[in-house]
Structure 1
Amino acid sequence: MNGRVFIIGLGLIGGSLALCIKKQHKNATIIGFDVIFEQAKLAKMLSVIDEIAPSIEDGAKEADLILIATPVQETERIMQALVNMELKDQVIISDAGSTKKEIVKRSKLLADKGVAFIGGHPMAGSHKSGITAAKSILFENAFYLLTPEDHIRAEQVQQLQSWLSGTKARFITLSPDEHDYLTGVISHFPHVIAASLVHQAEKTSETKKLVPRLAAGGFRDVTRIASSSPEMWRDILLHNKEVLLSLLVNWQEEMQKVTNMLETENSEEIYDYFLRAKQFRDELPQKQKGAIPAFYDLFVDVPDYPGVISEITGILAKEEISITNIRILETREEIYGVLVISFQTEEDRERAEACIHLHTSYETSVAL
C-alpha cells in the first residue's frame, strides 16, 4: 500500500508498528512524533521512521493512517486535539491502548466530523521499553484486538488490517465493553495482584531480613509483571475501574474460600482446589501469545566455578543468539547453581538450548 502513516508515540509499541508497516508496505512513508524529541531523532537515525513531524498537527494533516501509541490518558488528549485539526477525508485513526471503552467514547467527536476511528490493542510487549527495543517480530502470532463501532464500514476495518498485515498478528473484532472485561481478567487484574504480592514482601522484609534474598528466585519470576510502567498502569486502572472493582470483589470471595478451607483443615478441598487450577493452567496454549508479555526463560544447571557464565554466553554469541537478560538463582545450596537466561522469542530459546546441549554437558529446562 502507498500513503503516509503517522505514528504518535515512538516507544516499544509505536516503534514496532512502524517497523512492521515499513517491512510490509515499502512504498509507504512513515512519519513519527514523540513528546521526547530525542526519541524521535533516535527513531529517524535507526530508520524506524522516515520523517519527524515537528508537531501532531503537521504530521496528521496529510496522513492516510494515524496510529496513537501513547498511555491511554494521553491518547484521549490527542484524540480531542485531532478533532480540531485539518485531516484527509478518508483517514483512519487507531490507537494501541490497553483499555477501549473510554477511548471509543471519546471517538464520537471524530465520528461527528466524519473521521473513522477504530480502537486497537496489539496484545504483545516486552520487559524492555523505548524505541531501541522496537522489533518487527514483536506482534507475530499475538492477538490484535479491534473494537470498531457499528457505524464503521467493513472495508475500513479491512483497510486497517491491510496496513497492519506486517505485524503477522491474529485479528479479533469485539466490542469495547467485552475487550475491557476480558483484558481486565487476564491482564489488568494479574498486574494488581503481582504489585500487591510485592508490597506484602516489602512489608515483611522490614522484620524478616532474608526476604529479599530468598525472593530472588521463584517469587521474582511470579511477580515479574510488577516491574511494568507505573504511569501506564495508573491510567489503565482508572480507565477500567468498574471491571477491576468487580474483579476485586470476586477475588475477596475466592480468598475467603481458601481461608475457610484452611480453618476447617479440609485436605480434600485443598487438594481439589490446586488440582483444578493445575488442570486449567496446563490446558492453556503454550505457543500462543496472550495479554501479558511472555518471557522465554531457559534454566541451565551450571557448576560454581569462575568463567562458567562467559562460557555459556560465548557459545550463544557464536551462534548470534540474542540474550535479553541473564541472572543466577541464589537460593540453591548444592554445588550446582541455576543460570537463568531470557530470550526475545521461543525460537531463540530453542536454538540456545540445542546449542548448549551440543557444546556442554549442562542440564537445561524451561518453566511450563
Structure 2
Amino acid sequence: MAGSKSGPGIERVAILGLGLIGGSLGLALRKRGVKEVAGYDRHPETIETALTLGAINRPAADPATAVQGAQVVILAVPVGALGSLAGSIVPFLDPEAIVTDTGSVKGAVVRDLEAIFRDRARYVGGHPMAGSERAGIAAADGYLLENAVYVLTPTPATDTRALKSLEGLFQSLGSRVITLDPDEHDLIVAGVSHLPHFLAVSLVQAAGELAREHPLALMLAAGGFRDTTRIAGGDPVMWRDIFLYNREAILALLKSWRCQIDALEEMIRAGDATGLETVLNEARALRARVPARQKGLLPALHELVVTVPDRPGVIGAMATSLGDAGINIIDIEILRVREGEGGSIRLGFTTAAAATRALEILQNSGINVRLLENA
C-alpha cells in the first residue's frame, strides 16, 4: 500500500469533471495529503456533493477559476468533451502546469491535446484502469485506484519531468503506473474493455427483445447473464464517446468477433458436435489464462476463502492478526452471509507467500480457511 504523501512537491491539483473517476481521484489525493484540490463540474450540485464528501476542498464556479495556480490539472470528463474543455483553460494555466486526462481512448485524444497545450502547459495522456458500472460523484471511492493499473501514454513530445511527476503522484495513490504508446493502448483496451462493453449492451438488447414476447425472460435471468451484462450499466455518454473515438480498433475487433460467431453458428446448424466441443475446450483453456479478479492489467491475486461466525469484531480481529504479522490484505469481498450463522469472505494477497502465511496464521487461530484456485 502507498505511503501517506502525495507525489513529490505537488500540493495544488485541479480536477475538472467530478464523476466517478474525478471524484475518486479527489478523495485519494486528499487522503494522501495534497494540500488543495480544486474542483469544477458543469452541475453545481455535483460540486457541492464533492465538497461534502471531501473529494475537493476548493470549489470553483468555472474551469478557469479551478486551474489557476494548479500544479497538476486533471481533465476527467467524457472523451468527446476533452477538446473543448482543454481549449477553454489554456489562457489560465501556469506555463509549468502539468495537464493530464483520464480518457479511455488515447490516440486521437493525445494528438488533439498535445496540439492544444503545446508551449502553454506540459501535457501527458493518462487512463486509470479502474471503474464501476455505477457513475457519478455518489459512486466515488477513495480506494478505487489502489492496486489498479494507471496507464500513462507519453509520446516523443512529452516532457520527461512531467511524466516522472505524474508517475510519482499516481504511485502515491497506490496505483501501478505503466507507460504505453497511445495507439497500442487503444488497441489493447478495445479488446479487453470496449468490445466487452459493446457485447454486454447487445446481449441486454437481445434479452429485451425476448422479454417483449416473453415477460418472464428477465425475471429468469440467472447469474451468468447478470455477470456477463453487469458493465452495460455504465455511463451512456462516456461509452458513446469511447465507441466513436476508438471506432477503428473496435470495428477491427468486431470483424474478428463476427467471424467467430459465424463459425459457431455454422457448427450448430450442421450439428457438428466435434467441432463445437473443440472450440469450447479451446475457449475454456484460454479463459483459464486470464488473471482472476484483477484491477486493470495487474497479475492475479492470490486468494483465500474464510468462513467466519456471525460474531461482532471477528473480521477486525482477523485483519489485525494478519497486520501484526506484516501481511497486507490487498482486496476483500464478502461472498455470502446468513444472519445468525456467519458467512464467507474472500481475501486477496499480492504474493503466494503472503497467502500461504495468512493461511497458516488463520488456521492456527481456529478459523476455517482454504486457498482459492483462480479460474
Equivalent AA in structure 1 for residue 85 of structure 2: I
How far residue 3 of structure 1 moved from its aligned partner, in angstroms, is 2.7
What is aligned with 1:200?
206
Q: Which of 242, 249, 255 in structure 2 is aligned with 1:236? A: 242
1:16 — aligned with what?
A: 24
| Cα distance per residue 1:121-150 (max 9 Å; x no partner) | 101112333223222211122111111121
TM-score normalised over the length of structure 2 = 0.78
Structure 1 pair 140–252 and aligned structure 2 pair: CA distance change class (3 A): same
Q: Aligned ranges for residues 1-368 of structure 1 at < 5 Å?
A: 1-24=9-32, 26-83=33-90, 85-290=91-296, 315=310, 346-349=331-334, 355-356=342-343, 368=375
The amino acid of 1:207's aligned partner reads E
**More moved, 30-39 vs 123-132:** 123-132
User: CA 1:21–1:256 in structure 2 vs 1: closer, same or farther (change >3 Å)?
Assistant: same
AA of the residue aligned to 1:100: K
Pick closer, same or farther for the CA change 1:48–1:255 going to 2, 3 Å: same
Q: CA deviation at 1:109?
A: 2.7
CA offsets 1:16-60 (integer angstroms, 9 cap, x no match): 111222222x25211111111111112112222111112111111
Contact map agreement 2:47 2:59 (CA 8 A) in 1: yes
Count of residue correspondences: 324
Q: Deviations over 1:298-349 (max 9, x none)?
A: x9xxxxxxxxxxxx9x95987689xxxxxxxxxxxxxxxxxxxxxxx84133
Q: Is the 8 A contact 2:292 2:374 kept in 1?
A: no
Aligned partner of 1:3: which letter?
E
SS in 2 for 1:172: strand
CA gap of 1:64–1:351, structure 2 versus 1, over 3 A, is farther
Q: What is the rounded CA distance, in whole Å, between the counterparts of 1:159 and 1:52 in structure 2? A: 24
SS of the residue 2:219 aligns to: helix
CA distance in 1, matches of 2:230, 2:335: 22
Distance (Å, rounded) in 1 between the aligned partners of 2:261 and 2:181: 31
Describe the SS at the equivalent of 1:202: helix
Partners of 1:15 and 1:135 within 8 A in 2: yes
Moved over 6 A (4+): 316-321, 350-354
Give the deviation of 1:258 after TM superposition: 0.7
Matched AA of 2:343: I
Is the 8 Å Cα contact of residues 134 and 235 (structure 2) preserved in structure 1? no
Q: Distance in 1 between matches of 2:276 and 2:138?
A: 47
Taking the aligned partners of 1:95 and 1:166, their CA distance within structure 2 comes to: 18
Counterpart AA for 1:279: A
Q: Percent identity?
A: 33
1:186 and 1:291 in contact (8 A); partners too = no
Contact 1:136 1:167 in 2 (8 A): no
Distance 1:137 1:357, change over 3 A: closer
Q: Are the counterparts in 1 of residues 14 and 37 from structure 2 also a CA contact under 8 Å? A: yes
Partners of 2:207 and 2:51 in 1: CA distance = 43
CA contact (8 A) 2:15 2:73 kept: yes
2-structure distance, mates of 1:235, 1:43: 24
- Gap runs ≥5 in structure 1: 300-311, 322-344
Comparing 246-255 and 212-221, the one that deviates more:
212-221
Aligned to 1:340: none
Q: Once superposed, what is the RMSD of the aligned Cα atoms? A: 3.3
Change (3 A) 1:12 1:318: farther
TM-score (norm 1): 0.79
Amino acid corresponding to residue 13 of structure 1 in structure 2: I
- Structure 1 CA distance for aligned equivalents of residues 48 and 315 of structure 2: 28
Q: Which amino acid aligns with 1:18?
A: G
Query: Aligned AA for 1:48?
Result: A
d(CA) in 2 for partners of 1:104, 1:10: 21
Equivalent in the alignment of 1:326: none
